[in-house]
Amino acid sequence: MREVRAITLLALVVALVVISFVVDLPGGDEVRSWIRGAGAWAPAAFLLLCAGGTAVFFPKPVLATASGLLFGILPGAALAIAGFTAGALISFGIGRLLGREAVARWLGDSCLRTLDEVFAKNGLAATLVLRLLPVIPFAASNYGAGVTAVRPALFALGTALGLVPTTLVAALLGDAVLDLGSPRSIAALVAWLVIGVAGVLWGRNLLCRAARTS
């Protein structure tokens, strides 16, 4: 499933690059003027889309990037973070309602035991790093967290804070997505890569310590 998502996202990026060269696309300001014409319905609908998409495993980077294109960097990132956090809490709650056995069938017993150990000792830090890790599906970590010892308040706080850097970078990329050769789009891609590498290193450290302990 992870490989399918990675291939899908890569195909989307390649398609956007090709389209930007062969199609006369509207500018970001023009797109946002259309959105403003829809009034308050547009941000409300996008927030609900982010929340619902998070719960059903829709690729978060796609929505995060779209936030910058549709609403601008800061407003778009704020909407996306609010929607993703709401969706994470919905998934968290569903995971607790379903119970450990149901969630273990998705994630596997060994993965769930490791998450138990990580969340038991580093609730806030573990949530933060799971928001940064590009190799762990966002929705899967939300459902998995629901059957661990992490407190809902720490999970919500860690989710909101951990989403800030990657969502801002994605929104910046979305704001420049119709001008992919611009310096700011290249800077956004580099920043996204740096955040991803940092998340992998930090997450591997947490998971290795948890595995040794368990």
d(CA 48, CA 9): 22
Q: Is the C-alpha dihedral spanning 153, 52, 133, 76 positive or negative?
A: negative
Q: What is the pLDDT of residues 166-208, one digit of tens each?
A: 898 888 888 876 565 566 666 666 766 676 666 666 656 665 5
- Write the DSSP string, 74-118: HHHHHHHHHHHHHHHHHHHHHHHHH-HHHHHHHH-HHHHHHHHHH
Residues in the chain: 214
Locate the domains of the chain by residue range.
2-213
Nearest residue to 161 (alpha-carbon basis) of 118, 129, 123, 121? 129
Query: Average pLDDT of the chain?
Result: 75
Q: What gap in Å lies between CA 86 and CA 51, rounded to an integer?
A: 6
pLDDT value of position 101: 82
35-53 pLDDT tens trace: 777 778 889 999 999 999 8
Using CA atoms, how far apart are residues 110 and 102, in angstroms rounded to an integer?
14
Q: Which amino acid is at 13?
A: V
Closest by CA position to 162, among listed 196, 213, 189, 113: 196
Question: What is the predicted pLDDT for the residue at 36?
Answer: 73
Share of the chain above pLDDT 90, in %: 17
How many helices, marked H, and strands, marked E, lie in the chain? 11, 0
Residue 74 has pLDDT above 80, yes or no: yes
User: pTM for this structure?
Assistant: 0.73
Q: Which amino acid is at 10?
A: L
